[in-house]
Amino acid sequence: MAPEPLTIYRADCPSRPILDQLISKWSMLVLQVLDEPKRFNTIKRQLDGITQRVLTETLRKLERSGMVTRRVLETSPIGVEYALTPMGQSLKMVFSSLYDWTVTNMSDIETTQQAYDLQR
Amino acid sequence: MAPEPLTIYRADCPSRPILDQLISKWSMLVLQVLDEPKRFNTIKRQLDGITQRVLTETLRKLERSGMVTRRVLETSPIGVEYALTPMGQSLKMVFSSLYDWTVTNMSDIETTQQAYDLQR
DNA sequence: GGGAAAAGTGCGTTATTGATACTAGGTATT
DNA sequence: AATACCTAGTATCAATAACGCACTTTTCCC
C-alpha cells in the first residue's frame, strides 16, 4: 500500500500571505523594470497598460515587504525614486526565470488553450 | 544624457493574460504537490486550506493551459486523476525556485512588514 | 495665464476569492 | 434497511481585491 497522503502544505505557513501579496503579474513586471533606480513615471511609461493607481499599490506592497526602497528627490517638481533592495534583487532573479519561461512557452500555451476552448 | 526610457513591456504581449491565469499561489502549490499523478481529494488533503471550489478552478485553468491532464478512473466510486504534462513539469521547476525563495525569506519579510506597519 | 509633468488620491464598478451548503452515485456500517 | 461517509464536483452568496477614470497639487515653461 502507498503511504497515507498527509497534509504537506499547511494553511498557517507564513509563506501563504507572502505568496498572495508578492506573486502577481505587476509585482513581477515592476521588478523586471527596476534594473536601476527609477522614478515613478519612468516605471509607468515602461510598463504599458499599468495605471497610476495600480502602480502605486504595487510599489507600496513591494516597499512594505522590503523589496524596493522609496526615496524622495528634492528636485524641481518633486520626484520619487524607487530602487531594488538586495532582497528585491534576489526576488527579481527568481521572477526572471518565471518571465522567461512564460515568454518561451506562450505560443504553445495559447494554442493549447484554443484547442481546449473548442471542445467546450 | 541617459537614453529616453521607452516602453519595454507591451500591454498586448501574449504573456500578460498567461501571467494572470497561471501565476497564483494555488497554481504554484498544486504543481508542487503533483510530483506523481494524484486524485482530486488527495490533492485537496495535501493542500491545507484550499476549498473544492478553488481547487476545481485551479485544476481547470492548469488543464486548459496544458499543464496538467485530467483522467477519469473507472473505479468503484468514480475517481479523477490529475497528472503533470511535460510543460507542467517545466513550470513546476520554475515555481519550485519561487517557493524555495519564499520559504527562505519569509521570516525576513514578516519582520520588514511589521516594522513598516509600525511607522504608519 | 495656459498647459504639461510630477506623484499620487478618491470613488465607484467589476472581477475574483472565499465560505458554506448542496448534489449524486456508490460503499461501508450498524 | 437506514445511516453515514467518500467520490468529485456545483450553486449560491458575501467579502475582498483589482481596475478605470477622474481629480488634486505643486512647479516649471512659454
- Cβ pair B10:A94 closer than 8 A: no
Percent of chain A, pLDDT > 70?
95
Predicted pLDDT of residue A120: 72
**Predicted pLDDT of residue B1:** 44
Grid cell listed for B17: 493574460
Region B75-88: mean pLDDT is 92
Å separating the CA of residue B78 from the C1' of nucleotide C24? 12
Contact B5 A46 (CB under 8 A): yes
Best of B30, B36, B58, B102 to disrupt the A interface (most A CBs within 10 Å) is B102
Is B84 contained in some domain? Answer: yes
User: Least CB-CB distance to B20: which of A14, A25, A109?
Assistant: A25
Q: Is B85 on the interface with A (CB under 8 A)?
A: no
- Look at residue A10 in the predicted model and tell me its pLDDT: 92
Instruction: Provide the number of structural domains found in chain B.
Output: 1
Q: Tell me the sheet residues that pair with B39.
A: B81
Give the pLDDT of residue B114.
94
Chain B hits for A11, Cβ within 8 Å: 48-49
Per residue in A46-99, pLDDT (tens digit) is 999 999 999 999 999 999 999 999 999 988 788 999 999 999 999 999 999 999
Domain annotation covers residue A25: yes
**Percent of chain A residues past pLDDT 90, beyond the cut:** 88
Residues 42-81 of A with CB under 8 A from B: 42, 45-49, 63-66
pLDDT digits (tens, 9 = 90+) for B88-110: 999 999 999 999 999 999 999 99
Interfacial B residues in 9-38 facing A (CB < 8 Å): 9-11, 14-16, 18-20, 22-25, 28-29, 32-33, 38
Q: Is residue A2 part of a domain?
A: no
Greater confidence, A74 or B53? B53
Q: Who's near A114: CB < 8 A, 6+ residues apart?
A: none
pLDDT digits (tens, 9 = 90+) for B61-74: 999 999 999 999 98
Chain B residue with the nearest C-alpha to that of A34: B8
Q: What is the mean pLDDT of chain A?
A: 92
Tell me the mean pLDDT in the region B22-34: 96
Quote the strand ranges of B1-120, DSSP E. Answer: 38-39, 68-73, 79-84
pLDDT at A5: 56
Cα B92 from Cα B102, distance rounded (Å): 15
In a domain, B1, yes or no: no
B77: pLDDT confidence band, cut at 50, 70 and 90?
A: confident
Give B-chain residues touching A97 at CB under 8 angstroms.
94, 97
**Please, which pLDDT band fits residue A24 given cuts at 50, 70 and 90?**
very high
For residue A106, the domain's CATH number is 1.10.10.10
CB proximity A117 to B under 8 Å? yes
Is residue B44 included in any domain, yes or no?
Answer: yes
Specify the range with the lowest mean pLDDT, choosing from A8-12, A65-69, B4-8.
Answer: B4-8
Torsion angles phi and psi, residue B102, rounded to 5: -65, -45
- Containing structural domain, residue A95: 16-118
Q: Is residue B59 in a domain?
A: yes
pLDDT of residue B5: 57
What pLDDT does A1 receive? 43
- Over residues B10-30, the mean pLDDT reads 94
Nucleic strand D within 7 A of Cβ A48? no
CA atom of B18 to C1′ atom of D25, Å: 38
pTM for the model stands at: 0.93
SS3 assignment for B41-92: HHHHHHECCCCHHHHHHHHHHHHHCCCEEEEEECCCCCEEEEEECHHHHHHH
